[in-house]
Amino acid sequence: MSAAPTTTAPWQLGATELGAAVARGELTAAEVVESHLERIAAVNPAVNAVTQLMADAAREAARETDRRRAAGEPLGPLAGVPFTVKENIRVAGWATTHGVPRFRDHVAETDAPPVRRLRAAGAIPIGHANMSDLSISSDAESQLYGRTYNPWDRTRNPGGTSGGDGVAVAVGMAALGLGNDSGGSVRLPAAFNGVAGLKPSYGRFAADHRILGQEPMLASQLIPVDGPFARSVADLRAAFEALAGADPQDPRAVPAPLRGPRPTRPITVGVVVDPAGIGVHPEIGAAAVDAAEALVEAGYEVEEVRIPRLSEALECYGKLIMTEFGLSWPRVRQLLTEKGARNVDLFLERTPHEDLGEFLRQTGVRLGLQRDWAALMETHPLLLTPTCPHPVPGVDVFSEDTDAEGHARLTLPRAVCAVTSLIGVPAVNVPSGFADGLPQSLQLIGRMYREDQCLDAAEVLERCFGALTPVDPRP
Per-residue exposure over 195-232, b if at least 16 CB sit within 10 Å of its own CB, e if not: bbbbbbbbbbbbbbbeeeeeeeeebeebbbbbbbbbbb
Strand order from edge to edge, sheet including 438-446: 50-53, 124-129, 82-86, 176-181, 225-230, 196-199, 427-435, 438-446, 382-386, 268-271, 301-304
Q: How far apart are CA 328 and CA 20, in angstroms?
A: 47
* Alpha carbon distances (Å) from 145 to 61, 87, 129, 214, 286: 26, 10, 10, 25, 38
**The dihedral of CA 172, 176, 177, 183: what is its sign?**
positive
Task: In whole angstroms, give the CA distance from residue 397 to residue 406.
Answer: 11
Kindly report the number of other CB atoms within 10 A of residue 5's CB atom. 11
pLDDT at 6: 46
Q: Which helix or strand (DSSP H or E) is residue 220 part of? A: helix 218-222
| Strand ranges, E, within 205-250 | 225-230
Report how far residue 387's alpha carbon sits from residue 187's, in angstroms, rounded to the nearest whole number.
Answer: 7
* Segments of the chain with pLDDT less than 70: 1-7, 398-401, 404
Q: Write the pLDDT tens digit of every residue in 25-47.
A: 999 999 999 999 999 999 999 99
Q: Give the pLDDT confidence score for residue 401 in this predicted structure.
A: 65
The dihedral over CA atoms of 166, 171, 172, 174, expressed in degrees to the nearest 10, equals -30
pLDDT of residue 350: 81
In degrees rounded to 5, what are phi and psi of residue 303?
-155, 155
